[in-house]
Amino acid sequence: MNANAIISHNPLLKGAGLPPFTEIQPEQVVPAFQQLLAELDAELTKLETSVQPTWSGLVEPLDKLTERLSWSWGIVNHLMGVKNSPELREAHEAVQPEVVQFFTKLGQSQPLYNAFKALRSSEVWNSLESAQQRIVEAAIRDAELSGVGLQGEAKERFNAIQLELAELSTKFSNHVLDATKAFSLTLTSTAEIDGLPQSLLSLAAQAARAAGEENATPENGPWRITLDFPSYGPFMQHSTRRDLREKLYKAFISRAADGDLDNNPLIERILELRQEFAGLLGFKNFAELSLASKMAPNVEAVEALLEELRRVSYDAAVKDLAALKDFALSKGAKEALDLKHWDIGFWAERQREEKFAFTAEELRPYFPLPQVLDGLFGLVKRLFGVSVTPADGQAPVWHEDVRYFQIADETGAPIAYFYLDPYSRPAEKRGGAWMDVCINRGRIIENGVTSVRLPVAYLICNQTPPIDGQPSLMTFNEVETLFHEFGHGLQHMLTKVDYTGAAGINNVEWDAVELPSQFMENWCYEQPTLFGMAKHYQTGEPLPEHYYQKLIAARNYMSGSGMLRQLHFSSVDLELHSRYRPGGNETPADVRQRIAKTTTVLPPLPEDSFLCAFGHIFGGGYAAGYYSYKWAEVLSADAFAAFEEAGLEDEEAIKVTGRRYRDTVLALGGSKHPMEVFKTFRGREPSTTPLLRHNGLAATASAN
């Protein structure tokens, strides 16, 4: 087959509809994008010369252009996550720079930017719907944050900073990865592995074999413990050898902090460049720039929330530590009077086991996947009046385990679809769980006929596959994860916005996007929902009541300490990106130690170089945004409280509140500001009280 034939039949150039997964091959990626980007480049040039400052003369043609790219690029990125291979990775690497360059060119297009501004100041502006106005305003803001308004040297400097920051971010992440890999602890005697669970011994023996110890076994060793979390975490929780826990802990907190892998100079440089970058765009600091596209109005508002939660969680964390010391003392531990950082995980796990007397493994037989799905689908019918039914065979899939479902409204009419890829496949699928967009809802005009394109979502989990004729048996944590991702999916699928740029999760401020997902997790603890799905897969026996009581009790175990830890990270991140200035009297490490005085109950050790491994803000996209986790959690807890106030045992009240939530939080997408959406649902601004109550911290709050 010649090259032209390959291109003309290339499934990645179909441009719309369900992806033809069964036809797509890695070797089609490069020719598809060579052709697609050339065509889009020509289309962009044409649009720039003929653009009109109207909805149909600007937004509609631009949507068509970007949707072609996001459809094809979305498929490739999706397959990178669920069906990775050396061939696909190579093809992805080959085309990614050109795709990024095209998006940059689009973001800095002066003619399009001018047209958006002209549309905003035109006479038709007030006749546009709020979704249309929000799309236009977001386009103007994003262009400005992409440097569209810069000229000459300033623009050159801006683009150079962007490139250098991208390089530094990659280098930072590589240093952390290499430093994590560089350390290991090889154990050879049974005394050294005392207390370790079987699962960790198997992992440690496997690590030893991978490092060249051909005869390593879980029973006889040697065992290799590493700083990778699946190895480090369980070791710190279960090893009875305090000396080894100390050694491992000190190695963990000093990663990427010296020698060739030292991230300290990179941190200084990143913060310096971010400050300059923000200055070029007219902001006082990088935190202001970060918040320009988020829900939080300013740095002060974020700090006020963090301080409100800090006061409560600090007192609770002090009590947590005192209780842990008392527990260790009751067990005759010599270190009880002076618990160190490397003792906390160990004694917290002993206390948890004694207090709640159950393990995650014990609950698995009560949560087979088919039953959990029935429970989840029953809940969304009860809350939102929608029905979920299997539609397997109606869509091509990338793996035989992938399911396809339809969502229908009260009349039985389809309103959305989704793929579910539930099981772990380590050889080709990345870890974790996520929801992604396959197709956006949108109004389509073809040959003068208008129709609405229905949304399609990807829901991806990584749970244990069915083994030896058993169904996939889920941990309770995996059940929560499925509900969480389905919450994201519902916002994408139940949207009623017909303008793609604000439909579903599109154009929803980043610190509000976790609201629907965190909201759904609460229902896992609601009695009718839990008992509706928790039945033993062999006997059909419902989950014993004592397990339910233990689940409820364990939910808030040491929640003050857990919350304070997140607030410590958030506060350090915000301070470094707002008030800190490189080259002054303080180093970033000094800033962290200063903030630790009010956000930790066990101050960091002098050699603690946590910032050197804080990938979220120096290697990922959370700079001046780490607070988002807590910001959205306030919203989701308060949204669930609306159902509690209506009465969880009152089915009619649940139905009324559920429909109101569906018509606001889930339906309005990015068509209105999240605060406006929340107030429409709740009738007021959000309160932190439900979050504190759900975390068992309400009593502490009222005492303050």
Q: Return the biggest CA–CA distance within the chain.
A: 81
> Please, which residues bridge with residue 225 across strands?
185
Residue 1 confidence (pLDDT): 43
What CATH fold (topology level) applies to the domain 366-502+514-540?
Answer: Neurolysin; domain 3 (1.10.1370)
| Helix, strand or coil, per DSSP, at residue 368 | strand
- Rounded CA-CA distance 485/462 in Å is 12
Q: Residue 23's closest CA among 37, 6, 1?
A: 6
Q: What are phi and psi of 263, to 5 degrees?
A: -90, -5
- Asked, as a colleague might, if the bond just before 222 is cis with ω within 30 of 0, I would say yes
Q: Tell me what pLDDT residue 371 has.
A: 96
* 285-362+558-627: CATH number: 1.10.1370.10
- Please report the pLDDT score of residue 8 as a whole number: 60
Tokens linked to 471:
């169904």
The pLDDT of residue 621 is 79
Quote the DSSP letter at residue 295: S
Find out whether 480 and 441 touch, Cβ atoms under 8 Å: no
User: Counting Cβ atoms within 10 Å, is residue 394 exposed (0-12), middle (13-18) or buried (19+)?
Assistant: exposed
Structure tokens at 687: 């309160």
- Residues with catalytic roles: 485
Per-residue pLDDT, 520: 98
Q: What secondary structure letter does DSSP report for 9?
A: T
Judge contact between 385 and 659, C-beta under 8 A: yes
Cβ contact 47:106 at 8 Å? no
> What is the distance, to the nearest Å, from the Cα of residue 82 to the centroid of all Cα atoms in its chain?
17
- Start and end residues for every CATH 1.10.1370.40 domain found in the chain: 3-149, 366-502+514-540
pLDDT of res. 700: 60
The answer to whether the beta carbons of residues 644 and 689 sit under 8 Å apart is: no
Domain with CATH 1.10.1370.10 in the chain: 285-362+558-627
Question: Cβ neighbours of residue 611 under 8 Å, at least 6 residues apart?
Answer: 263, 267, 572, 588, 589, 592, 618
What does the block give as tokens for 591? 């800033």
Could you read off the pLDDT of 73-116 as tens digits, one per residue? 999 989 988 998 889 989 988 898 888 789 888 989 999 999 99
pLDDT, residue 703, reads 57
Our measurement of the distance from residue 532's CA atom to the centroid of its chain's CA atoms, rounded to an integer in Å, reads 28
CATH, range 3-149: 1.10.1370.40
pLDDT at 202: 83
pLDDT < 50 regions, the chain: 1-6
- Residue 69 backbone class (left: φ over 0; alpha: ψ -120 to 50; beta: rest): alpha
CB atoms closer than 10 angstroms to residue 690: 23
313 touches 697 (CB < 8 A) = yes
The string of DSSP letters for 425-479 reads -TTTS-SS-EEEEEE--EEEEETTEEEEEPPEEEEEEEEPPP-TT---BPPHHHH
What is the DSSP code string of 16-82? Answer: SSS--GGG--GGGHHHHHHHHHHHHHHHHHHHHHH--SSIIIIIHHHHHHHHHHHHHHHHHHHHHHH
Q: What is the rounded CA–CA span in Å between residue 146 and residue 532?
A: 50
